[in-house]
Every structure is written in C-alpha cells, then in structure tokens.
Amino acid sequence: FDLNEKTQYVDKMIHQCIDQYTHKRVQIYEKHVDNVEIDPKMEDVVNRMFERCFEDNTFRQAIGIALESRRIDKVKESIEKSDEVEELLGYTFTLAQEVIKSKVFRTEILRMLLLIYQNRKEGNFDYYKISKVQYYLQIPESTAILLEKLIKTDEYLASYQMAFDLVDKEDQTFRNKVIEHLKNMQEACPEKDRLKQLITILEGQISDRLYLQFLKKNNNTDMHIINKIKDSIGNRNSMLHSATIWANGIMNAYTTNDAFLRDNIQWASNATNWNRFSATASLGMIHLGNKSQAMNILQPYFSGGGANPDQQNSPYSTAGAYYAYGLVNANNHSADVLQFFMDGYRNSGQNESIQHGVSLGLGIVGMATRDEQTYEQLK
C-alpha cells in the first residue's frame, strides 16, 4: 500500500505495523524472548515512515517512534537532519529523563546526545544540558574540561553559570571530582583568576553568601507571633515547648536571626533531654549555610554551659550542637568538617546521645559522597 495515501485504512495499517515492530524491537533489545524475528517488509514500512517524517519535517514524531522502537540510529538521524538541532537535542534529553524507563537504553541515548553536542562546530550551545548529560553519565572529567575550555573564551560567564547550576542541582561527589580535575589544570591554565573564581563557585561559598544575604535582608518573620505562642503555652507542657522552638527554627531558617532564643535563654533552658537536643539543633536551621560563624555560635555547647553559662552542659545539648553543625555544613564534605565529626565520636565518652547527634550531623555533611574510608572507620 502507499504510505503517502491519506486514508483511514492506510493510517490503521501503519499504526498496527509500528506497534508490532516496536513490540518486537523492545523484546530483542531487552532480551525478554529468544529468537524474535522481524519481517523485512515490516522493517521496510517503518523505515519508509521515518523517511516520510523527514520529508514532512515532523522530526519530533520520528524521534518518538525511534525511541519507542529502540532505534538510536534514527534518533540521531532525526536530530541531525533537522534545522532545529538545539531544540531537538533538548526535546530528546527531556524524553530520555522523563519517559524512558530502561536505564541501559537511557544511557545509550545520553551518550549519543553528548556526542552530537561535542561534534557541533557552530550554533547555540545549551551548556546546562551538556553538563546535565555529563552528570547522568558520571564523567566529571568531561565537565571539568568543558568548564576550563569556556573560561578561556569570551563565554567564560557561561562557565560560572554552569558552576552555579552544578552547586544547586547536582550531588557533591560529582562536584568535588570536577573541582579536583580543575585544580589539576591550574598550572597550565592561562586564565588563573577566572579558574580560581570558578572553583570558589563550585565549592558553594558564593551561593551560601548570596542566599544568606538575600534571606537575611528579606526576612519578614513576624516575631510577635512566636512570642505570643510562647506566652500562651506556659512552661509545663514539654511537647508544646519543643514545638514552639521548632516553629521558631522553621520561621527563621537560613536567616541567621536567632534573637528569639537569645532573648529567651531562661525559657529555652527549661527544655529537658531530647527537647534540649531539639532546642540546640534548631540553631542549625536558623544558621543554615553560615559556615564561617558556625563554630563561634555553637562552641559554648561543645565546651560546656551552652547558652546559659550558669547551667551545667547537657549531653543532649552537645548532641544537638553536633546536629546543628551538620545542618550548617550540609553537603560540605571537606576534610576539616569530616575530622571535626570523627573527633566528636572519639570525645563522646561512649555517650549514646552525643554519638547520635554526631551521626546525624555527619550523615548530612557526607550525604551521597560514597566515602568508603569514613564508612570503614565507623564500622
């Protein structure tokens, strides 16, 4: 039959053929069934359907059929024959992320997309998507090479934006490997100042400072509300006391505004046991990202006395301080921070409450790092 004939019969035959072809191609690719054969006539119909899509400039339809039928060659051909390569690269990338369930096939598609990106000589480049593909494929050295290449061009600001995106959206293991590769390139790089600034961005220092400045400046928390809650609950109900402290932490998260706790030290010190842990830990919520001041704020809880110098330090307060320190340094698995928590284990005196706080803090700091050395030490 004529594929170009616009009749209900032809459309139905094409749909049935593509459905059966797709089903068999998936079986062959995923090896669910042995000895699956595809009729050459069926293959011919599908290939002619691809050609019709190319002639009609319906490249998105061709990509959809190619992805469903596991035809990577036709995905590549659809993108390269189009006049909208950048748009189709982004379209295919989105489908690979959101639609394709097979991890193996998704990886093959992403490798193919990266190859097209890298082989392009002109046109617009979506550097964010390129770095995203590199992240999915776990090739940090390629990301480092791309960033180092960009900082030597007039598009060096694009490398800074990529670095901010990596800090905001990718895990610290990948980011730390990118930083490591970039540091190895410092000697040979002619733009040392730009590279140094790039590494500073990747370490998260600038993002933290900007977040803190913005949220501190735009903190519109109505402190009368939390004070009214405090006055209305009294001192006897420990659950409400703890809930009020957490409410304050949530209201002032990332703002460094700990005035409520400082102005109500005596009231806050009425907390006992794990409520005292929560009270101290809430400081970590308030000072999220305030790494430079973290130790100054929390040191009294580590050395004794806590917020109230006249009161003996509680192991629950110390445990809460370790948790708070972890919150402040979340996703900052540096050698100094790691050593601080390992020392916390050694200095805990086998106190389970303190060990609990150290463990929580270390978990937040080392999230998704796959640090085998730390794991072995903790065993």
CB 333 within 8 A of CB 300: no
What phi and psi, each to the nearest 5 degrees, are found at residue 159?
-65, -35
330 contacts 288 by C-beta, under 8 angstroms = yes
- In this structure, what are the phi and psi dihedrals at residue 351, rounded to the nearest 5 degrees? -75, 120
What span, in angstroms and rounded, lies between the C-alpha atoms of 147 and 211? Answer: 24
**CA–CA separation, 144 and 147 (whole Å):** 5
Q: What is the per-residue pLDDT for 310? A: 47
CA neighbor of 65 nearest in space, from 77, 54, 73, 75:
75
Whether residue 162 contacts residue 147, with contact meaning beta carbons closer than 8 Å, is answered with yes
C-alpha dihedral (339, 342, 344, 350), degrees to nearest 10: -160
- Domain edges within the chain: 1-124, 126-203, 223-378
Structure-block tokens of residue 288: 């999220």
DSSP structural state of residue 292: G
How many whole angstroms separate alpha carbon 219 and alpha carbon 167? 24
Complete DSSP assignment for 297-346: HHHHHHHSSTT-TTSPPPHHHHHHHHHHHHHHTTT---HHHHHHHHHHHH
pLDDT value for 28: 85
What is the C-alpha to C-alpha distance for residues 95 and 136, in angstroms, rounded to an integer? 14
- The type of residue at 322 is Y
Furthest C-alpha separation in the chain: 93
Alpha helices by DSSP H, listed for 127-271, are 127-136, 140-150, 156-169, 172-184, 192-202, 205-217, 223-233, 238-251, 259-263, 265-268
Residue 233, C-beta contacts closer than 8 angstroms, at least 6 positions apart: 240, 241, 244
0.95 exceeded by pTM: no
- The mean pLDDT values, 10 residues at a time, for the chain of 379 residues are 74 88 88 79 90 92 94 94 91 92 92 89 77 92 93 92 91 91 90 94 91 92 93 85 94 93 90 91 94 92 60 82 95 87 89 94 88 81
Buried b vs exposed e over 33-46: b needs ≥16 C-beta within 10 Å?
Answer: eeeeeeeeeeeebb
Which pLDDT belongs to residue 371?
82
Q: Which of 78, 96, 99 is nearest to 88 (CA)?
A: 78
DSSP code of residue 293: G
